[in-house]
Structure 1
Amino acid sequence: MTALREALDNRPAKAVRIAVSHAGDTTEAVLDIRRQLSSARPSFVLLFLPCRLATDALPAALADIMPETVVFGCTTAGQITPRGYDSDALIAIAFERSHFRVASALFSPISPLSIADVVSQAERLSAQFGITPGRHRLALIFADGLSKQEDILVATLEAGLVDIPVFGGSAGDGLRFQETKVLRDGQFHSNAALLLLLETDLDFRGLGFDHFQPTESRMVVTRAVPEERLVLEINGSPAAEEYARLVGVSVKELSPAIFAENPVLVRNRDLYHVRAIQQIYGENGLTFLSAIDDGLLLTLGRGKEIIRTLDSGLTVTDDQGAEPDFILGFDCYLRKLEIERKGLADEASERFRQHRVVGFSTYGEQHLGVHVNQTFVGVAFFRPRRGAVP
């Protein structure tokens, strides 16, 4: 690669400024972030937190150190920094006010979910947030990743926002699965979802891809607890035993890595969506990360080459053939587990660097009204070819 090519590939994004801190103390991390963003003029900042940082200390630190800055965010199961995969980084993405406007809504509680309330708030927010001629709108959703409500939430948002595309990721908690939170108005909220309605002069493209294809192995959910995303029986047998038999391992060998590499798929017309298994429940139950129900037909999935599909999926251009200014990415934590288990983390990180991806590892992904798993969902933003609004 020539020096010019390297310089072009590593040039900083113009529409956002990105800061990363590995400071061990919450206050020091926020100070570090503020120093790195000293020249930014943000409309708002997105903050993606590693599980090691104490969320109870962050609101006070933000109020003291960044009092004039509008900050949103969530806890994560890992981060994607400008250097690639990370598990220990505090990431701040400052969206420049010359290119972005934002409005927000908080849905709380979301379990149980009031469909009427979500539709009403979404419609009201859209009506109040009038679009500027020549600009585009999109929505981002960040939901409590342990709420088990993302499926109905994003479908409801699709109805409430009508023609505004919705993308997002479920908040994470490392691999602890204890508590996930979203950040709004200087406070963290569990059992909640954060909706951001964005207006931008940048063109954008939505991305959504996985690396699985269906096999001939079919299974039917014969006993489930849908509200808990819990499957107790598959094909009339204990769920974990039957799944392990189909995969070709013993129940004792079942692990997050096995689940990551052997997901089950649900067919919707000509498309297959991943219904990822989270963990074993009790002795033979299986908890899922997406909606599940009695009678659901599942297909065992097998993976294609993950780095090749990652590179292909991230290779996107605008109508003039230009590469993205940056890609905001929501990547399932199970994809990262598979990549790490195969020793491919460095290669994946290199692809993220090449395509200017920044984001976080999620407990689930939201793509155009559908909640999915083991999928990369993102928004590729392209530099505007007209003057920015000051």
Structure 2
Amino acid sequence: MVAGLVHPQGSAAVLEDLDQRPAKAVRIAVSHAEDPVTALAEIRRQLAHARPSFILLFVPSRLSPEGLAAALPAALPDAVVFGCTTAGQITPRGYEDDALVALAFERSHFRVASTLFVPISPVSIAEVVQQTERLSEQFRATPGRQRLALIFADGLSKQEDILVAALEAGLKDIPVFGGSAGDGLRFERTQVLRNGEFHSNAALLLLLETDLAFCGLGFDHFQPTESRMVVTKAVPEERLVLEINGAPAAQEYARLVKVPVGALSPTIFAENPVLVRNGNIYHVRAIQQIHGENGLTFLSAIDDGLLLTLGRGKEIIRTLDSGLTVTDRQGEPPDFILGFDCYLRKLEIDRKGLEAEASGRFRERRVVGFSTYGEQHLGVHVNQTFVGVAFFRPRGSAPL
């Protein structure tokens, strides 16, 4: 179903800006209020002058999605609102955990169409391809404008790998980027927002058309070591590994990273990821948590016989700085960067006392977005990765 384009009589304003130069194409609002009604009222006041095509809402784990859904019709009555629950937010201040973030995409620069895939567990590849193709056909292209897609999926569905592969087939040459919805560090319930309702076991696809040049970003900070391991017993549909190298999975992983099994934690998993090689590229297969006594639950697809390589981190701030340094052909920085950043990256940054530095880089590079349970980058579901889209001002064009 194609979402209607809106022409609200008032919304969106300028919050604090990343380099004192207001973004032209998106207006940002942030609330730290503890109840949904007050939070949305603050968002509405901050978005008092925007004319958005649509609004993205990134929801902290402490705010009730049901409460937000109930308050949305009165708070933003004329707006098309999409969004998801998160494992943290990236605001104009940098990393935060308790902020309701609204991004109002100006209708002078954006058009949008949407569809909801529900249920996605299990994913029907044929239905996803057909639904995606239908959306693209109904949303007729405007000459001189470019297209991209954003995907927000239930981060506990364990279906993102199949979903994004199907999307790539349906979208053909339209690039797709996105993040899996989060739930803080509780891992209980993750949801996406469309048409005033939050949905679990679902994925939201937004098809965007814009007159802005843009480019996709995707980077991590790991390199392979000499430590190899083979998955010898797995439950693929649950992303669950029971044995590695013929030994109980948690026990063998702990041995390889040289910590007691009892010391395994999200921080240990964040700093000692396992990698999967695809050609000459290594992708992170992040570990979510211990399952039972010795199983390991992963955040990406896993299977019997899969060869894994233990990863070693490079300097995370340096790679963040390098990865976010993009310009258009005129050498101008982005108007803003929409960012999807794995929650495990933030855990590592926090533990190392680097949150202020990382937040400073986000402010300098004009990044807004959220911490995810997984990232989608050009048809691949990845972990422990920063994925983003850099949008440039209308006069610019995307980097070569």
* CA offset digits 1:259-316 (Å, max 9, x no partner): 0000000000000000000000111000000000000000000000000000000000
**Residue 283 of structure 1 corresponds to which residue in structure 2?**
293
Say whether residues 1:237 and 2:247 are aligned partners.
yes
SS of equivalent to 1:308: helix
1:107 to 99, 117, 126: 117
Letter in 2 for 1:134: G
Shift in CA distance, 349/65, structure 1 to aligned 2, threshold 3 Å: same
**Residue 9 of structure 2 corresponds to which residue in structure 1?**
none
Say whether residues 1:23 and 2:13 are aligned partners.
no
**Residue 369 of structure 1 corresponds to which residue in structure 2?**
379
| CA RMSD, 1 decimal | 0.9
Say whether residues 1:302 and 2:294 are aligned partners.
no
**Residue 39 of structure 1 corresponds to which residue in structure 2?**
49
**Residue 326 of structure 1 corresponds to which residue in structure 2?**
336
User: Does the 8 Å CA contact 2:41/2:75 hold for their aligned counterparts?
Assistant: yes
1:271 to 253, 265, 281: 281
Query: Once structures 1 and 2 are overlaid, which stretch shifts more, 266-275 or 124-133?
Result: 124-133
2:216 to 203, 206, 209: 206
Superposition TM-score, scaled by structure 2 size: 0.94
Shift in CA distance, 167/8, structure 1 to aligned 2, threshold 3 Å: closer
SS of equivalent to 1:9: coil
- Provide the C-alpha distance between the structure 2 equivalents of 1:142 and 1:235, rounded to a whole number of angstroms: 35
**Residue 83 of structure 2 corresponds to which residue in structure 1?**
73
* CA offset digits 1:112-154 (Å, max 9, x no partner): 1111110001001111111111110000000000000000000
- Provide the C-alpha distance between the structure 1 equivalents of 2:130 and 2:328, rounded to a whole number of angstroms: 34
- Provide the C-alpha distance between the structure 2 equivalents of 1:241 and 1:10, rounded to a whole number of angstroms: 51
- Provide the C-alpha distance between the structure 2 equivalents of 1:78 and 1:343, rounded to a whole number of angstroms: 17
SS of equivalent to 1:30: helix
Letter in 2 for 1:182: V
- Provide the C-alpha distance between the structure 1 equivalents of 2:198 and 2:247, rounded to a whole number of angstroms: 42
**Residue 173 of structure 1 corresponds to which residue in structure 2?**
183
Shift in CA distance, 59/236, structure 1 to aligned 2, threshold 3 Å: same
- Provide the C-alpha distance between the structure 2 equivalents of 1:74 and 1:318, rounded to a whole number of angstroms: 30
**Residue 92 of structure 2 corresponds to which residue in structure 1?**
82
Letter in 2 for 1:358: V
2:228 to 214, 218, 234: 218
- Provide the C-alpha distance between the structure 2 equivalents of 1:90 and 1:17, rounded to a whole number of angstroms: 14
**Residue 367 of structure 2 corresponds to which residue in structure 1?**
357
**Residue 260 of structure 1 corresponds to which residue in structure 2?**
270
Percent identity over paired residues: 82
Gaps of 5+ in 1: 1-6
- Provide the C-alpha distance between the structure 1 equivalents of 2:248 and 2:37, rounded to a whole number of angstroms: 49
State the 4+ residue runs in structure 1 displaced beyond 6 angstroms.
none
- Provide the C-alpha distance between the structure 1 equivalents of 2:330 and 2:144, rounded to a whole number of angstroms: 18
- Provide the C-alpha distance between the structure 2 equivalents of 1:56 and 1:16, rounded to a whole number of angstroms: 26
Alignment coverage as a number of residue pairs:
380
* CA offset digits 1:169-221 (Å, max 9, x no partner): 00000000000000000000000000000000000010000000000000000
| Alignment map for 1:186-197 (pairs within 5 Å) | 186-197=196-207
SS of equivalent to 2:65: coil
- Provide the C-alpha distance between the structure 1 equivalents of 2:74 and 2:354, rounded to a whole number of angstroms: 41
- Provide the C-alpha distance between the structure 2 equivalents of 1:48 and 1:8, rounded to a whole number of angstroms: 18
Shift of 1:8: 8.8
- Provide the C-alpha distance between the structure 2 equivalents of 1:228 and 1:101, rounded to a whole number of angstroms: 37
Letter in 2 for 1:219: M
Shift of 1:318: 1.1
**Residue 395 of structure 2 corresponds to which residue in structure 1?**
385
- Provide the C-alpha distance between the structure 1 equivalents of 2:275 and 2:122, rounded to a whole number of angstroms: 26
* CA offset digits 1:80-101 (Å, max 9, x no partner): 0011000000000000000000
User: Does the 8 Å CA contact 2:18/2:366 hold for their aligned counterparts?
Assistant: no
User: Does the 8 Å CA contact 2:243/2:249 hold for their aligned counterparts?
Assistant: yes
- Provide the C-alpha distance between the structure 1 equivalents of 2:313 and 2:395, rounded to a whole number of angstroms: 39
User: Does the 8 Å CA contact 2:18/2:365 hold for their aligned counterparts?
Assistant: no
Letter in 2 for 1:121: Q
- Provide the C-alpha distance between the structure 1 equivalents of 2:370 and 2:20, rounded to a whole number of angstroms: 20
2:325 to 281, 303, 315: 315
Say whether residues 1:162 and 2:183 are aligned partners.
no
| Alignment map for 1:81-160 (pairs within 5 Å) | 81-160=91-170
